[in-house]
Structure 1
């Protein structure tokens, strides 16, 4: 029987396994690509754009793509990380992949931290262990895509929100620590937003829910305001830069319109096909801001005129989002599909069990299951793909760990749902609505 009272030792083992698997995945991927002359990325498209922007930043050139230039097409979070690696190691991509292996390993550690804040250290270790060996996480980490970095920054923002809630339980009266963590939570939400723009709504959403459901008084309002202030501060430099370029307030990107139209247009299939951007020539005759507005309007007009088709597309996108294996045909081989499907089914069954056991703990369920549901709703409108689900699986693993502890007899004595002395609150109890 494992001694999970020695959770620090187990955490060290988990982190070692996580790093080993991710470094191995980076090496194998690079070896396979090196055998194909001229091929730099496993999944081109977005990867090429990110890499180009990273090179622009590393060489002190303008942050822009294409001609005429699109300067607000991407947020700078992931390209900035790539540029940092390029400044340190040059343009040898294997070193960037190894950097991402470190980021992916850190994300496993952050899963532990989130589990520790929401429940207890043992649950955190189990959740981190599942993250460490996840085939999808391991395989995706060395790709030149933003998902792994976003998972890490998203987890940091969720941990900060959990800290506010725990401090509120320990000291319901106003405290400097809670205000610091509220401001920090907002800053971290902003940093995550600069990696993936769709995370923007989470900051105001958490602030409102905290005030409305947890502490509906002056102190609660001030804490919520501090979170929003932190978000505004972290996004201010990017927003100011965009205002100088366009004369409009743009806190994220001007790629929302084309992305929305990609998901809602007469040729939409639920998969991404941005060929219309070049075919229409809108960017040749309009400013970047006006082109974004043009595609937004076109998408909503199509949706209003064809509601039945939009519902049908939403179903297709959600099926792609929840797919247990990759949507791309190049990855649909039995030796990839079977382990991915089995692993996904196992973590989801355990998460459902964990969610049921935790159904009376609102904040625990919100901070763990909320992200995966949030992105499902967003991508029912945009494009459906497991790429957009994978980062949200990291916090979900806390519920998976709770489910595992209830399923397996070896964890019975340390289950977070066992009855404890009345002087001790149940782990995670501070995250209920009471």
Structure 2
């Protein structure tokens, strides 16, 4: 049987294993929750908010939550996805949880496509296998949280960017370059609809494309303009809606200020603790926009007045971000910590080796290391945990697959040829 055909069958088998693992976890999680009366979600708060926002979309109600109403609290991407699942399967947690588990399977396939595009098909199959058996990725894929859907959208945007970067400049490729540029902008905006923190990637991608063009910078700038156009058009409906309900230009959400203050205040530890928001009740006297400005300014003022504590917090956040095991107390059982660490530590070691053997492949390093470094830097300011690292691990695993291939398979090939 030809190697390509064997790899296709192997990929199909990996995706089947991925689906079995995730559906099995979905069944286990739902049974555990059903045994605890009054408990609906593994991680309360965010999950309940997403579910309620999805219900407002499903029933054609105003996209608001809580009292006083929060109209621009969350990006609508994940709630829209949940609402779509509810419209087909009903408002039943277990059924929607199964749909979420299949989202994780699709993420396995897209990371395969990205690995294949950046390196080769063998690397794509290896990275798909790593993602399929990752306990954290499998576990999070069945939760009512946006991490897995964001990872999927992020991977797709990176795949489009990788394809765009390989298109040569010239008349023959001009139309294809324009179409992929528009798609790149649209895919970046789709990821922003799930997680607003991806917004800053657009200017970084523009800089990378122009810098990589060298002798064809004029053509590269044209492609970037089409990318910005696709991004702006895709994000325009949400921005316009926000202007109508707030009277201000808000391209993402009005939760930046409280999130920033959560990570920069006198009681901050690097972990999230939003009790100050409920205790202060500033929304009783301020609009949602004013509240966001209020907390943003307080966070900035605190950082200016207490630089020592800020640097101390940065160290704590960096440790929380890169810690091999979960930070949350409900996941501190020895078997959970061991299961996560046993996978993550070798993955990082192979990623380091993969980065070394690929040190002259700038596009590969940019796409695989870029997201995890980007979020690591971002969460030196905001609160930090494994949860914020998780989506970026998908692309990092491609470097791990490169390391595994060179450590095991390439040595075998060399010994056979010798």
The CA distance in 2 between the partners of 1:67 and 1:351, in whole Å, is 46
**Residue 173 of structure 1, CA deviation:** 5.9
TM-score (ref. length: structure 2): 0.96
Q: State the partner residue of 2:272.
A: 272
Q: State the partner residue of 1:427.
A: none
Indicate if the aligned counterparts of 1:50 and 1:145 stay in contact, CA closer than 8 A: yes
The CA distance in 1 between the partners of 2:5 and 2:126, in whole Å, is 12
> What secondary structure does 2:29 align onto?
helix
The CA distance in 2 between the partners of 1:269 and 1:107, in whole Å, is 33
The alignment yields a C-alpha RMSD, in angstroms, of 1.8
Indicate if the aligned counterparts of 1:126 and 1:401 stay in contact, CA closer than 8 A: yes
> What secondary structure does 1:218 align onto?
helix
**Residue 144 of structure 1, CA deviation:** 0.5
**Residue 50 of structure 1, CA deviation:** 0.5
Q: State the partner residue of 1:94.
A: 94
Q: State the partner residue of 1:381.
A: 381
Tell me, yes or no, if structure 1 residue 68 matches structure 2 residue 53. Answer: no
**Residue 405 of structure 1, CA deviation:** 0.7
**Residue 69 of structure 1, CA deviation:** 0.7
**Residue 284 of structure 1, CA deviation:** 0.9
Q: State the partner residue of 2:342.
A: 342
Q: State the partner residue of 2:212.
A: 213
Q: State the partner residue of 1:185.
A: 184
Unaligned 5+ segments in structure 2 are none
**Residue 354 of structure 1, CA deviation:** 0.6
**Alpha-carbon spacing, 1:255–1:86, altered in 2? closer, same or farther (3 Å):** same
Could you give the per-residue CA deviations for residues 80-122 of structure 1, whole angstroms, max 9, x where no partner exists? 1111111111111011111111110000000100001111111
1:100-249 alignment runs, 5 A limit: 100-168=100-168, 174-215=173-214, 216-249=216-249
Q: State the partner residue of 1:394.
A: 394
The CA distance in 1 between the partners of 2:354 and 2:177, in whole Å, is 28
Indicate if the aligned counterparts of 1:204 and 1:228 stay in contact, CA closer than 8 A: no
**Residue 70 of structure 1, CA deviation:** 0.9
The CA distance in 2 between the partners of 1:373 and 1:366, in whole Å, is 10
Could you give the per-residue CA deviations for residues 251-271 of structure 1, whole angstroms, max 9, x where no partner exists? 110000000000001111111
**Residue 217 of structure 1, CA deviation:** 2.2
> What secondary structure does 2:194 align onto?
coil
Q: State the partner residue of 2:300.
A: 300
Q: State the partner residue of 2:252.
A: 252
Could you give the per-residue CA deviations for residues 205-235 of structure 1, whole angstroms, max 9, x where no partner exists? 1012101222442211111111111111110
Indicate if the aligned counterparts of 1:210 and 1:220 stay in contact, CA closer than 8 A: yes
> What secondary structure does 1:167 align onto?
coil
The CA distance in 2 between the partners of 1:268 and 1:220, in whole Å, is 43
**Residue 4 of structure 1, CA deviation:** 6.9
The CA distance in 1 between the partners of 2:112 and 2:397, in whole Å, is 10
**Residue 287 of structure 1, CA deviation:** 0.5
Q: State the partner residue of 2:291.
A: 291
**Residue 334 of structure 1, CA deviation:** 1.0
The CA distance in 1 between the partners of 2:195 and 2:47, in whole Å, is 14
The CA distance in 2 between the partners of 1:412 and 1:351, in whole Å, is 20
The CA distance in 2 between the partners of 1:203 and 1:412, in whole Å, is 41
Unaligned 5+ segments in structure 1 are 420-434
TM-score (ref. length: structure 1): 0.92
Indicate the structure with greater helix content.
2
**Residue 172 of structure 1, CA deviation:** 8.4
> What secondary structure does 1:194 align onto?
helix
The CA distance in 2 between the partners of 1:139 and 1:4, in whole Å, is 31
**Residue 318 of structure 1, CA deviation:** 1.1
Count of residue correspondences = 414
Indicate if the aligned counterparts of 2:320 and 2:384 stay in contact, CA closer than 8 A: yes
The CA distance in 2 between the partners of 1:108 and 1:414, in whole Å, is 30
